[in-house]
Chain A
Amino acid sequence: MANLKRTSLYAPGTNPSFMATVPFFNEDCIVYDLEDAVAISEKDAARFMVYNTVRYHRPKDKYVLIRVNGLDSEFLDDDLECAVRARPDAIRLPKVEFPEQVKKVDERITEIEKAAGIEVGKTKLWCNCESYWGALNCQAICEASPRVEAMAIGAEDYTASMRATRTKEGKEIEYVRNMVLMGCRAAGVEALDVVFSDINDTEGLIRDTQYSKTLGFDGKTVVNPRQIDTVNSIFAPSAKEIKYAKRVMAAIEDGRRRGVGAVTLDGSMIDKPMERRAETTLAQAKAAGIKID
């Protein structure tokens, strides 16, 4: 089954009631946060709560991540110790700029996995691209470790690094969106788009998410649970896409039965990328719980 990453929702590591609530929304991924949402004086408490939540109350049917503090932060080592031992699906690294940073974290995670009796390589990484360096080195970052599964864009820090002004329209992030997408695709990892910050602007969210999907992103981080269903529905395959994918797969199957090499549908030849796209569409539909039979 495809692992959907349409929506990632942050849960602050010091908010136990919200941490208990987030599994009941429809987000694909939960990110328990040790970084920005946690006050400096509360870092140890957040580690304790996040560790216990992920280790002992891990939500079912969710992709679980822990976001650690920055790569140059004094909290990183303790965060990694806590996060790896809690056994999430992945650790989300903020503000990654160079592949060497990922390699260093990979080595540290390997040490902790060995010490904790966790299969080495099991803990995946999502890297956040939040500066021009991150954008310029995107492909190399994604290829720095086999643990890297996805890259996400942090638009606020990125625009700050560029001395750009953040707008709702998002022209200032056009380039980084495409850079990250190309880097991710070249490295074979998933690409996750920026948050849409205005939680009361549903129309704006729809427009922005539709644009993300058109560009090719696999999902988006959401800032409020109220955004989840909108984003999910846009990133889930539409009925039309599912119908077409089924027709592609049926034509291929028919060709195989008849021993025909080149198969056509509606007058066009079905090539390998079309087949791959159809398979992905159906796998995503299944993962999203859409009945396709």
Chain B
Amino acid sequence: MVKNAVGRELPEKIGNYVVKPYKGPGAELDWDKPACTNRVPRLSPAGGSKVAASLKDAIIKSGLKDGQTISFHHCFREGDHIIGQVLTICRELGLKGLTFAPSAVVNVKNPSVIDFVKDGTITNIQASGIRGSLGDGVLEGCMENPVILRSHGARPRAIEMGELSIDVAFIGASAADDYGNCTGQIGPNACGSLGYAMIDAYTAKHVIVVTDNLVEYPCCPASISQMYVDQVAVVEDIGDPAKIGAGAARMTKNPRDLNIAAKCAEVITASRRFKDGFSFQTGVGAIPIAATIYLSEKMEEQGIKASFTLGGTTSNMVDMFRKGQIRVIESSQSFDAVAARAIIEEPNIVEIDNALYADPYTKGSILSKLDFGLLAALEVDTDFNVNILTGSSGEMMAGMGGGPDVAADAAVSIVVVPIVRGRTPSITKRVFTCCTPGDTIAMVITEAGIALNPKYPLYEELKEDLEKTNLKLVTIEELQQLAESLCGTPKPIETTDKVCVVVEYRDGTVIDVIRQIKK
């Protein structure tokens, strides 16, 4: 066993997976080779069409074999109908031992991914999160090989360093033409940005665009160009629009969440970095959306405008953009129907590649220029380490998302979390799963006060700025004790020695593992 820089005990090897222990944020890579790609130069079919007879024919023609890796993007979220169709065909074709590599957490049902794990179609998973029946199955030890989880920024790095090598990329598109130009911005199942599919399109050995909306050539706009696409498969149905992104996100009425959101907006406006041209990323969820709305009000009051926002886009950000409060929205994902439409309606709402958003090893991710970034958390511990994966009983709850990336690269990284959820404390002595190292967290905002991280490089600056306000500053230990006084001390989650999940940091080192939960 080895201990990494956040004090987690790790085996040196898990099956064939060699553990490189996490050493700290901002590490240079030991890598001087060209970026990896599986992309194969192929002669364009002159004047012809790339439309396959069916999705099944496309898969057969791709040459997909046992043991190879298939990838998907997650921009259709819970409304995705592509993954189920592809996996069902793979099973029909008798394919075994596939590595399933979606760009984030997926929780598709009917059929569920766990069914394909159980019958051996899938034997490896690399994602940003797993939940639902798949998460439960994995933590019960149903897979021989550990699932590898990475943040949004880590995935493109892993691809370019050959750790995730995609054989066939299935790219769902709400519109595509017969030569492979495709987009998520138009069509009945529009999901907006296809930012997470780009790295797959650029590097996979074989790229199949899957659509239910074949449009006249050339498809415009084209998020992914025909030059990366091998085949187009037309299916009856790519998703459920109600689950892909229904309407605009609404302001929560939960007073506790509003309280935290208001504090968050106050923190940002109290900072000396809150000035014309500042940048922020708030994301989606009850607290971030409310914080965005409060921030917009304060920007209006003080006449301050942002240069850009980043990452997942919501309708609230689009509203701010249309009021002239944000100059550019860099959108790697669209969280609702308004945000999905906005890319095509507004030239300065830009669809960006996920690698450009969050990969620190691209020579220039936009996150590196960000002033304020918000992160959600399931748990935070007294070392400011963040758990965004596992819940109070150890169950898989969410995905890594861009949390570790935002924390590491934003000048001020802010965790927003209620101190208790139900009967479970959110501020603990030690998080069950460490996903984001505490060294990269500037502060934790709760309804009971704000804890600044004394180890954060901007601690003195933030302390000075916040002490000028009426905001209540507390220590993280005070928050932890308060949370425990309300809920009591939860019993530790008991595990076996079997490692079910490897949690990789941005540089490919291991920040934590999740072991099989004892029943």
Q: Give the interface of A toward B (CB within 8 A).
A: 17, 20-21, 23-26, 57, 224-226, 229, 289-291
Contact = CB atoms under 8 A, between A and B. Distances in A.
B255 A224 contact: yes
Given A17-B422, A24-B259, A226-B253, 18 more contacts: A17-B423, A20-B420, A21-B256, A21-B447, A23-B448, A24-B447, A25-B255, A25-B259, A25-B447, A26-B259, A57-B485, A224-B255, A225-B255, A225-B256, A225-B259, A229-B262, A290-B470, A291-B470
A25 B446 CA distance: 11
B258 A226 contact: yes
Contacts of A25: 255, 259, 447
Nearest to B471: A289
A24 B253 contact: no
A24 B448 contact: yes
A57 B486 contact: yes
A291 B471 CA distance: 12
A224 B253 CA distance: 10
Nearest to B423: A17
Contacts of B486: 20, 57
5 contacts: A24-B419, A24-B448, A25-B447, A225-B256, A225-B259
A22 to B, nearest CB: 9
Contacts of B258: 226
A115 B420 CA distance: 37
Contacts of A24: 256, 259, 419, 446-448
B220 to A, nearest CB: 43
Interface string B417-445: 00110110000000000000000000000
With a 10 A CB-CB cut-off, give which of A20, A23, A224, A290 has the most chain B CB atoms.
A20
B400 to A, nearest CB: 29
Nearest to A21: B256
The 9 closest A-B pairs by CB, nearest first: A225-B255, A24-B447, A289-B470, A20-B486, A24-B448, A226-B255, A21-B256, A25-B259, A226-B258
Contacts of B253: 226
A43 B448 CA distance: 29
A224 B448 CA distance: 18
Interface string B223-267: 000000000000000000000000000000101101100100000
A23 B422 CA distance: 16
Nearest to A228: B255
Contacts of A224: 255
For A21, A57, A291, the residue with the greatest tally of chain B CB atoms inside 10 Å of its CB is A21
Nearest to B419: A24
Interface string B444-481: 00111000000000000000000000100000000000
Interface in B388-438: 419-420, 422-423
A17 B447 CA distance: 14
Contacts of A17: 422-423
A25 B449 CA distance: 10
Nearest to A227: B255
A136 B410 CA distance: 63
A20 B422 CA distance: 10
A181 to B, nearest CB: 29
B180 to A, nearest CB: 50
Select the residue from B255, B258, B420 with max chain A CB neighbours within 10 A: B255
Nearest to A291: B470
A23 B485 CA distance: 13
A24 B446 CA distance: 9
Contacts of A57: 485-486
A6 to B, nearest CB: 15
Contacts of B419: 24
Nearest to A229: B262
Contacts of A21: 256, 447
A240 B94 CA distance: 78
Contacts of A20: 420, 486
A52 to B, nearest CB: 12
B467 to A, nearest CB: 11
A201 to B, nearest CB: 13
Contacts of B446: 24
A25 B259 CA distance: 7
A180 to B, nearest CB: 28
Nearest to B469: A291
Contacts of B447: 21, 24-25
Contacts of A26: 259
B169 to A, nearest CB: 45
Interface string B486-513: 1000000000000000000000000000
